[in-house]
Each structure stands twice: as structure tokens, then as C-alpha cells.
Amino acid sequence: MNIKLRFILTFLFIAIYGCSTDKVVDKVDQVIEIIEPEFNQNAETNYFPPTNSDAWETVPLAQLEWDEDKANDLYDYLEEKDTKGFMILYKGRIVTEKYFNGHNTNATWTWYSAAKSLTATFVGIAQDEGHIDINAKTSDYLGANWSSLSTEKQDLITVKNHLSMTTGLTDYISEPIKWICKQPGCLEYTADAGTRWAYHQGAFMLLQDMITASTGMSFQEYCKVKVSDKIGMVGNWTNQFGLNIYNSNTRSMARFGLLSMNKGKWDNTTIVNETYFDNMTNSSQDLNKSYGFCWWLNGKESFLNIGSDEVVPGSMTPNAPADMFSALGSQDQKIYVVPSLNLVVVRCGDRAGESELGTSSFDNILWGKINEMIQ
């Protein structure tokens, strides 16, 4: 019990009833029991931590009837796989929060491409505010000469094509310098917009340029004002090797996951409208059905790996729930959102054994161990 609260209540009971301290303590305990009810696992509403403090309610593994021995097996696996931070939220409350390999609560880590999902979110906010229209041409925001394409081919490309990775621009994924380049000379034609799915870093970063051009503030400031400040997320954008990288502690990653589990609302405040959010977290095209607007989608009939045109049948992460959608970054940065289980799962750290930019075998093994714990 909070000592300050106990003292105040004790003082009040003595003043009002004039009874002994022992009796007052008994009465105080009865009062506290009433105003601090047990966590209700069946409650339909999500909990949201305050945005102006580090306070965050928790719920014990035992109360959810999760297997603590399996949880320890999971933690051993995470540590072995060079994990830095790991969290699970259930209905917004922390079930587990673990740090490994020298990391801690306040230490920051880069999201890598998981920040694409954050960017897609504030693009939606910009559309809500009338700054941008995702169905409009890219040239409406970046001018007529933003690529090396002919005007006819360039005008086929919309903001939505950048969100869904269907610009048709040559992706150069085997040439890192050209892959991340967003200068007109690097943005060359391979296919008409909407006819080819290819993970293109430079084309993605143009979304951030469009936010800066259309809102009157830098995309970094827009992200802070419209998302971070409203949900208590603390982080910063840096530029590394030409890439715009977002960095935060593990709890801020979890806050973004909680916003996403609640379909763009933080408590009773709408951050991004639900219609856009639903479009963002569902198949954005038929070429790669497991990709929304910069979110990876589980449970679809097929998927494309980054850098491959081969359609792979089946779900991306068979061990994970079919409704899971994920913000995924290089070196196995993960923000998993599972509405059917009311779960947000976050993992940050060094590479867990593979070099994939999106999904990897680590996802499936990790979810196998999570399933053992929660079932």
C-alpha cells in the first residue's frame, strides 16, 4: 500500500472517529480493499498508462494462468538470441517486461523499418487534417521532377503506392546506396504503378518528404506533436547512412503497439481515424496480400519476401494468431499486435540469427514459445 495514502487515511479516521491506531489501520485496509479492486481479466476496455509519468499497471502471469516455467524458457531463449528489451501487454497492462544483455528500461534502441508503420500512421493523421490525400499524385506534393520517369509514368504514382510498396520504381535491393537513394536519378522505371510489389526504401522515405512539404513542419516534429506527445511516447529521429531512423526505449514501442491495438485511439482520444487505420492494417493490394500500408499482416493466403518476386503460399508466421499485424524492422525489431488475444508483444535487440529485413524464422519460433506460455 502507498505509505503516504495510508498515513492520510489513518489521520482522517483518527480525527473523525477518535479510535485507536490499530483499529484505524483495520478500517483503512478495508477502505483500500474497496478502492483497489482486483484486475478483471474479462473487462472489455483497455487500460492506458498516463502520458506524463512512468506509472504503468501490471498483471501477474499467475492471474492470467500463464505457465511461469514456460515463461522462464522464453526468457532464456530471448537472452540467447541477443534480445535487449521484451514486453508483453495484456489489455494495456504489463504482463512481462524483461531486459537482457546490458539493456535497461531507459536505454534506447533503433526501430529500423518498424518506424515505417509509425510513418504510415502519421500520414493518416495528415490526411485527416486535410494536408494530404493518399489517392493524389506524388507530384502534387513533391513537384514535377521528383523522379527520372516520364510525366506519363510518373503521374501514375500516388501517395498510396508509396504506402503499399507498389510505385513500380526499380528497387535496387542488392545495391544499398541506390536502394536508399531518393534523388530523381535513382528513381527509375521498372513497371507501371500498382502492377509490381517491391520493398523500396527510397520511395518510402519520400512519404516523409511529403509530410514536411504539406504540413508546414518537419516530419519529425509532426510525428512528435501528432503521435508521440499524445500517447507519452519518447523518442527521436536520427539520420544514419541516409536513412531516417527512429529510436526509443522499449516502453515507447509498447505504447505505439497499444495505440495500434486500439485502432488509432488512445483512451478516448482519436489519434488517427478508424477507417484509415483499418485500411492501413489490411491487404493494400493483391500482389502481396500480407502487406498493408507499411504494416505486415499475418494469416493471409500468401506473402512475398523482401527482394523476391516469388509468391509464398500460406501465412507469414504460422505459429502466431491469424489476425496479428506487425511493425517489423531489420535485426528483428518487432511490434506485434494481436487484437483477438488483446496482446501487444515487443522485442528489440541485435539480430537473432538471420538477416531478413521483414519477417524471419525467429518470428515463428518466438511465437511457438509464447504459445507454450499462454496456453
Answer whether residue 34 shows pLDDT above 80: no
Please identify which residue in the block is written with the cell numbers 527521436. 236
Phi, psi of 355, rounded to the nearest 5 degrees: -110, 10
Does residue 328 register a pLDDT over 90? Answer: yes
Mean pLDDT confidence for 282-300: 97
159 Cβ neighbours under 8 A, 6+ residues apart: 123, 132, 133, 134, 135, 136, 138, 141, 207, 210
Q: Is 93 helix (H, G, I), strand (E, B) or coil?
A: strand
Residue 12, pLDDT > 70, answer: no
Residue 149, amino acid = L
Which residue has better confidence, 10 or 352? Answer: 352
Give the model's pLDDT for residue 271: 98
Give whole-number Cα distances, 89 to 55, 100, 235, 255, 341, in Å.
14, 18, 20, 10, 10
CA separation for the pair 58, 143 (Å, rounded): 50
pLDDT averaged over the chain?
A: 89
Q: Tell me what pLDDT residue 247 has.
A: 98
Per-position DSSP letters for 30-92, written without gaps between them: HHHHHHSPPP-TT--SPP---TTSS---B--TGGGT--HHHHHHHHHHHHHTTEEEEEEEETT
Q: Is the pTM of this model over 0.75?
A: yes
pLDDT of residue 245: 93
Q: Is the pLDDT of residue 183 over 60?
A: yes
| pLDDT score for 225 | 98
User: By C-alpha distance, which of 280, 285, 375, 355 is closest to 325?
Assistant: 280
Specify the pLDDT at position 41: 60
Residue 15: is its pLDDT beyond 70? no
pLDDT in tens, 189-219: 999 999 999 999 999 999 999 999 999 999 9
Mind listing the pLDDT tens digit for each residue in 126-180? 999 999 999 999 999 999 999 999 999 999 999 999 999 999 999 998 898 998 9
| Mean pLDDT, residues 307-327 | 94
pLDDT at residue 24 in the model: 36
By mean pLDDT, which of 95-109, 120-134, 173-187, 215-229 is the weakest? 173-187
Q: Quick count: other Cβ atoms within 10 Å of Cβ 63?
A: 14
Contacts with 154 (C-beta within 8 Å, 6 or more apart), sequence order: 138, 139, 144, 146, 147
CATH of the structural domain 83-130+218-374, one choice from 3.40.710.10, 3.40.50.720, 3.60.15.10, 3.40.50.620: 3.40.710.10
CA dihedral 317→115→135→180, nearest 10 degrees, is: -100
The three cell numbers of residue 60 are: 501477474
Query: What average pLDDT score do residues 271-277 get?
Result: 98
Query: In degrees rounded to 5, what are phi and psi of residue 333?
Result: -85, 130
